[in-house]
Amino acid sequence: MKKKVALHNLGCKVNAYETEAMQQLLEQAGYEIVPFESGADIYVINTCTVTNIADRKSRQMLHKAKKMNPDAIVVAAGCYAQTDTGKLKEDGTVDLILGNNQKKNIAEALAEYEEEHKKASHVIKISQTKEYEELSIAYTAEHVRAYLKVQDGCNQFCTYCIIPYARGRVRSRSLESILNEVHALSERGYKEVVLTGIHLSSYGVDFLEEEKMDLLALIRTVHEIEGIERIRLGSLEPGIVTEEFARELSKLPKMCPHFHLSLQSGCDETLKRMNRRYDSREYAMRCGLLRKYFKNPAITTDVIVGFPMETEEDFRKSYDFVKDIRFYETHIFKYSRRQGTKAAAMEGQLTESIKAKRSDIMLELHEQRAREYEQSILGKTLEVLLEEEIQIKGRTYYVGHSKEYVKIAVEKEDGLRVNDILPVRAEAFLEKHLILGMKINNFKF
């Protein structure tokens, strides 16, 4: 009888990719995958450690798993398992610990545990490895869009961030491995791939001279693969957006004009304290390059409010900068102290009420700018990838995203199906952040 395994993911898109990869490794080893509910024999929690809150959520999920079945094997994998191994060794709810670069061995680690029935920890010194952990997926929970991990680790050491300690230094996936996975996904019918990593902009910096390749070269190579019709990028550092980068990407028809450029603050003093390695003027210039080569690109970002020592004037500078750039979406994060980072030891820690107030102000701006960008595409013809069928007020629609990642609904009709890509004219708002589109026949981009 097959052992039942339930998996739960916490954290980023890279974690989600790795959770799916572990699931497929376990399926290949003969385990049955079941929902994260009572009754599983094994619970695998892929943990996150980006903030103290993420640590707490990771512990809560591990304890929840043990409560659902006290006899089950509970596995803590990933970033929290990497950074707080000592705590997990003392935690009676956890039976098996898998740090980063050890997830590929999950089936073997479980087999070893079941033989010995003794708590085990598989954690390496992640900062000392140069090995990229080879994980891959044959399919994904999303039916039309596949996230593809091409890089791990980070060399930046921003003062608020624990990730270089959890993930180690930059390690890039080989081109051969990436292309094998893209071909496999294409053969399964996936039309869009999203290239992602812990620090995607650093792809290739660790390669030897004879195998030199950067992100632009990787994108060009993926662009040649038949069946893949759209390429989207994960989060980028602004420094990668040079004149050449923007110009060359604009020549690739499959490239989605949707760019997530990490900002974190529009105040130069705060950026210095964060160790972000650019200033607001440089960042604005990079956005200008994207707008020079792409017509109305969707530029999105992350902003942290309430960073240590952020004054009211600093916040106002950041707000005004975000307002002037006119992002499509701004993801707002209240600064969360993470033990083990330089920022956690800084003077001038702000109260939660100040952070909440500043977050609300920035969120209001986000909503305004998102609405404005969506209004700017009304009347335009967009390329939409249909992703799911939904009901709204008694009517049936197919919903998908344009290349700019704007959510579009098309009324269901004969001949349409999920995973179709079609030309759609954006007509009007159907709901908040959902635009009603009209399919256009005999239109070619």
How far is the C-alpha of 382 from the C-alpha of 403, rounded, in Å?
8
Residue 134 lies in a domain: no
Check whether residue 355 and residue 208 sit in a common domain: yes
For residue 104, the 8-state DSSP code is G
Check whether residue 98 and residue 199 sit in a common domain: no
pLDDT at res. 48: 97
Q: What angle do CA 183, 246, 419 make, to 5 degrees?
A: 35
Q: What is the CATH number of the domain that holds 104?
A: 3.40.50.12160
Residue 138 lies in a domain: no
Residue 261 lies in a domain: yes
Q: Which residues contact 248 (CB under 8 A, 6 or more apart)?
A: 216, 220
Check whether residue 94 and residue 189 sit in a common domain: no
Q: What is the CATH number of the domain that holds 432?
A: 2.40.50.140
124, 157, 173 — which closes off a domain?
Answer: 124
pLDDT at res. 442: 79
Check whether residue 155 and residue 269 sit in a common domain: yes
Residue 295 lies in a domain: yes
325, 347, 376 — which closes off a domain?
Answer: 376
Residue 444 lies in a domain: no
Check whether residue 225 and residue 292 sit in a common domain: yes
Check whether residue 362 and residue 400 sit in a common domain: no
Residue 53 lies in a domain: yes
pLDDT at res. 117: 86
Check whether residue 372 and residue 388 sit in a common domain: no
Residue 248 lies in a domain: yes
pLDDT at res. 183: 97
CA-nearest of 242, 260, 274 to 196 is 260
pLDDT at res. 1: 76
pLDDT at res. 343: 97
Check whether residue 339 and residue 295 sit in a common domain: yes
Strands 421-431 and 381-392: antiparallel
Domain count along the chain: 3
- CB of 442 closer than 8 Å to CB of 396: no
Check whether residue 168 and residue 187 sit in a common domain: yes
Q: What is the residue whose two structure tokens read 């013809």?
A: 381
pLDDT at res. 443: 75
Q: Where are the beta strands (DSSP E) in 104-229?
A: 120-122, 145-152, 171-172, 192-197
How far is the C-alpha of 67 from the C-alpha of 309, rounded, in Å?
42
Check whether residue 98 and residue 209 sit in a common domain: no
How far is the C-alpha of 7 from the C-alpha of 111, rounded, in Å?
17
Q: What is the CATH number of the domain that holds 171?
A: 3.80.30.20
Q: What angle do CA 163, 14, 68 make, to 5 degrees?
A: 95
The letter for the amino acid at 259 is F
pLDDT in tens, the chain (445 residues): 799 999 999 999 999 999 999 999 999 999 999 999 999 999 999 999 998 899 999 999 999 999 999 999 999 999 999 999 999 999 999 999 999 999 999 999 999 999 988 999 999 999 999 999 999 999 888 889 999 999 999 999 999 999 999 999 999 999 999 999 999 999 999 999 999 999 999 999 999 988 889 999 999 999 999 999 999 999 999 999 999 999 999 999 999 999 999 999 999 999 999 999 999 999 999 999 999 999 999 999 999 999 999 999 999 999 999 999 999 999 999 999 999 999 999 999 999 999 999 999 999 999 999 999 999 999 999 999 999 999 999 999 999 999 999 999 999 999 999 999 999 999 999 999 999 999 998 777 6
Domain that holds residue 425: 381-439
376, 396, 421 — which closes off a domain?
Answer: 376
Residue 129 lies in a domain: no
pLDDT at res. 110: 97
Check whether residue 359 and residue 390 sit in a common domain: no
Check whether residue 158 and residue 274 sit in a common domain: yes
- CB of 302 closer than 8 Å to CB of 276: no
